[in-house]
Amino acid sequence: MKAKPMNRRDFLKTASLAVGGLAASQFVPRIGRAAPAPRQLTIDTRILEVNGKPATVYGLTENGKPGLTFAPGERFSVSLNNRLKEDTIIHWHGLTPPWEQDGVADNPLPMLKGGETRPYDFALEETGTFWMHAHTLQEQNLLAAPLIVHSKEDAAADRQEVVILLHDFSFKPAEELLSTLTGGKGGHMMHGAHQMDHGSMGKMSMQHDMTSMGSGHDMSAMGGMGAMDLNDIEYDAYLANDRTLDDPEIVTVEKGGRIRLRIINGAASTAFHLTTGKLAARLVAVDGHAIVPMTAETVPISMGQRIDLDVEIPKDDGAFPILALREGTGDRTGIVLATPGAKIDRLAAKIGTKTQPLDLTLESALRSTAPLANRPADKALMAHLSGDMASYQWALAGLEDLKLKSGERVEIAMMNMSMMAHPMHLHGHAFQVVAIDGQRMAGAVRDTVLVPPMKTVTIAFDAGKPGHWPFHCHHLYHMVTGMMTHIEVA
């Protein structure tokens, strides 16, 4: 394969490769784009080809292009139009809107009915890499898209931007996947869990993957359990910008050019290790919040998390895969950055080497460029994360009836006593990681943090806008089977 030659003025766009009727290059935002308010965001269905078979999935598009990109200073003024025949609702993950516009069913607004349009309007208080997704089982079927808010520095920067949205994909509907996990008991929070008709396409099998944590981990701390549970669903495919590695997106880049990679893990229940291969990378932000830059060859990214990486393209011709390696397996997906005319080798979607489980090694090294003000917590609490694969019931306890006043500082130590990792996400707030297993630190500011088995991660935040803010695991099937609570801010 060869990348098509391009004019210099086209380098800020990707190669125009069609995916399900939409160009793959549409995942790359155009910096400084001016658009009249309100923006028109449409929820609809679309057809993808996955592993040579058609699949009906959802989409979130503006004028046919996935996602939204906001210019510096622009308001979030969006008209959301549900063209589906079923109800749904969209959460603006990582933003801090008024509670009423957060996008969770009946909290407080009901879901959008089929054919309904709902206005959203609020100031964008943060810049960075965010995303939007259904806060229902519809998230599994790709009802998600990038949401990028540019800063003045982004607009002025002499660099190309590439956005990568990762997904796990099954031809079976999410309701069926959940039913298999729970033995038919289902979940008790299944707002909008409507089944789509995929006919008899594809086959999905479950696995109870008891993958060893490896010799570098002390298993004695795990009460004799001996291993952690990984990957409770064996998916049909793993996607990067709607494509598998059998037919990856090819992004044309300039020799010697500078690239900002914005990677979003939109998977329902799959964590990845992100690697830039031959390209040296600097990790500059997590979850849309700047960190002290650090060199990183491989970066863990759990469900709901985002990472920003800066890379430089060599001055010679070449093709440079950006790969997401599925946790605990040899599955992988990704895209390819390529200079004009470069030879592009085929990449296998599965290799023989299995990756290790995600851990907190990198998390413990991250440092925020804008940490919380140094002051004692007004409230300190312990949250217990529990559950097991056998019953497939998950729980978040210890925060019941937690009521805060705006401006109060709170610390929450999350102790994971289960054998699965939990990426914990707080709506309407950013928090700082301030301790891992009791060791204090001034860690990253973010909105989603991984808590591995038998680990305790402590976060701190200042209570923000009044509301009834969800706090939950971003593993979709953990959330709908019980690992979710709310934090009330008066």
- For 116-160, the DSSP string reads -EEEEEE-----EEEEEEESSGGGGGT-EEEEEE--HHHHH---E
Tokens encoding 470: 């969800």
Banded model confidence at residue 186, pLDDT cuts 50, 70, 90: low
Count of residues for the chain?
A: 490
Banded model confidence at residue 187, pLDDT cuts 50, 70, 90: low
Banded model confidence at residue 209, pLDDT cuts 50, 70, 90: very low
Amino acid sitting at position 18: A
Alpha helical stretches, state H, 6-54 = none
Whether residue 461 is predicted with pLDDT greater than 70 in this model: the reply is: yes
Kindly give, in sequence order, each residue whose CB lies less than 8 Å from that of residue 199, ignoring residues fewer than 6 positions away.
Answer: none
> In DSSP terms, which residues pair with 477 in a beta bridge?
none
- What pLDDT score does 213 carry? 31
Instruction: Tell me if 475 sits within 8 A of 329, measured CB to CB.
Output: no
- What pLDDT score does 190 carry? 46
- What pLDDT score does 205 carry? 28
- What pLDDT score does 328 carry? 96
- What pLDDT score does 33 carry? 54
How many other β-carbons are positioned within 10 Å of the β-carbon of residue 433?
23
- What pLDDT score does 297 carry? 86
Mean pLDDT to the nearest integer, 83-107: 98
Residue 135: name the closest of 392, 425, 432, 412 by CA. 425
Alpha carbon distance 186, 380 (integer Å): 34
| Interval 253-278: pLDDT, tens | 999 999 999 999 999 999 999 999 99
| Interval 398-451: pLDDT, tens | 999 899 999 999 999 999 999 999 999 999 999 999 999 999 999 999 999 999
CA distance readout (Å), 251 to 95, 425, 452: 28, 31, 34
Whether residue 172 is predicted with pLDDT greater than 70 in this model: the reply is: yes
The CATH homologous superfamily to which domain 367-489 belongs is: Cupredoxins -  blue copper proteins (2.60.40.420)
Mean pLDDT to the nearest integer, 172-188: 86
Tokens encoding 240: 């990067």
- What pLDDT score does 86 carry? 97
Domain definitions of the chain by residue range = 367-489
Instruction: Tell me if 137 sits within 8 A of 226, measured CB to CB.
Output: no
Kindly give, in sequence order, each residue whose CB lies less than 8 Å from that of residue 220, ignoring residues fewer than 6 positions away.
Answer: none
- What pLDDT score does 185 carry? 72
Whether residue 133 is predicted with pLDDT greater than 70 in this model: the reply is: yes
How confident is the prediction for the chain on average, in pLDDT?
88
Terminus-to-terminus CA distance in the chain, angstroms?
A: 58
Mean pLDDT to the nearest integer, 103-132: 97
Q: How far is CA 11 from the centre of its chain?
A: 26
Instruction: Tell me if 161 sits within 8 A of 67, measured CB to CB.
Output: no
